[in-house]
Each structure stands twice: as structure tokens, then as C-alpha cells.
Amino acid sequence: MDKLLPIIIPGTIGILGAILAIMINRYFDKRNKLLASKREQLEKIFAPLEILSKVNKQEFKRFFANNSPDVAEKEFIEKSIWYPNNLEIKKIIMTQSHLLAEMPQELLDLLEHINLWLFVYESKYDKKTHHNAVFAGPKGKPYPTGADAYIFKKAETYRKILNE
């Protein structure tokens, strides 16, 4: 037994060390995959949606400001800012949502609002009946302000995680 003890103790320590190394390696692999997933979500979903939502919100304030822009400028905001931004938001949600573990209701609400807005916008412009602001609101689907809060919070959270 005395001759086996010098063999057993180092062997046991080696096995325990190997098990510990495997566990630590798995932990860091899982953590790195999670961070990579968050980075990809931030880059392809939340950061672009954040920028587009902020621009839309800024232009919404300008559109309805006290010294409200003239009809031509309002038409420019709808045609050159909201319309392409809403198309891009829809594209991001439709093509990048596979990166999310689940589809959040806030994004579904935003997509529903944008689909309705695009339908109203396109039908008014196609029929040349556009004279007022395009709304998907009171009779349709009001803008889901919770979607903005969700997008901004996710982007902020992911930036914090990734910059630690």
C-alpha cells in the first residue's frame, strides 16, 4: 500500500485538475458564445432599430412642432424619412429575428403598426389621395411606445455587457 500511495495521490490530483480544467473551459465557451450572440443581436437588430426609431421619433416631433413645417416639408418627412425607415425596420425584424431566442411582443406590436402604416401610406400615394399626415393610429394600430423602450433598453444592456 505504501508503494501505491505515491502513485495514487498524484494521479487523483491530475484527474481532478483535468476535470476542473474541462469545467472551466466549458464555462468560458458558453460565456463566449453568449457574448457573441449578444454582439450579433446588438449589431444586426437592436442598434439599427434604435437609430431608426430615434430618427422617426425626432421627425415626429418636428412634424407636429408648434412652428410646424409646411405641407411640402411634411410630405418630405413622410416620403423620405418615415417611409424608408419603416421599410428598413420591417426588413430588420423580418430577416434578423432568427437571432433572438424568442420573438418579443414589443417587436411584433411594432411590426403590426408599421405594416398598417405602410399599407395606408402606399394606398394613399397610389391613389393620389394624400393630403394629410398618414396615420395608422386611432382607427388602426397606435404606435407601440413600449417597443421603443424595449429596443433602447436592450441596446443599452447589450452595450454594457459587451463593454465590461
* Mean pLDDT in order along the chain per 10 residues (164 residues): 75 86 87 85 95 94 79 86 96 95 94 90 70 60 88 94 85
* Measured distance CA(16)–CA(26) in Å, rounded: 15
Dist. CA 107–CA 144, nearest whole Å: 9
**d(Cα 94, Cα 92) in Å, to the nearest integer?**
6
pLDDT at site 7: 77
- Output the pLDDT for position 4: 74
What does the pLDDT read at residue 10? 81
Q: For the segment 103-141, what is each residue's pLDDT rounded down to a tens digit?
A: 999 999 999 999 988 988 888 776 666 556 666 655 667
Grid cell in block for residue 123:
394606398
Rounded Cα–Cα distance for residues 41 and 13 (Å): 42
- CA–CA distance, 149 with 60 (Å, rounded to integer): 16
Crossing angle of helices 5-41 and 145-162, in 10° steps, is: 140
Judged on CB neighbours under 10 Å (0-12, 13-18, 19+), 137 is middle
Q: What is the pTM of this model?
A: 0.77
Q: Residue 39 is placed in which grid cell?
A: 454582439
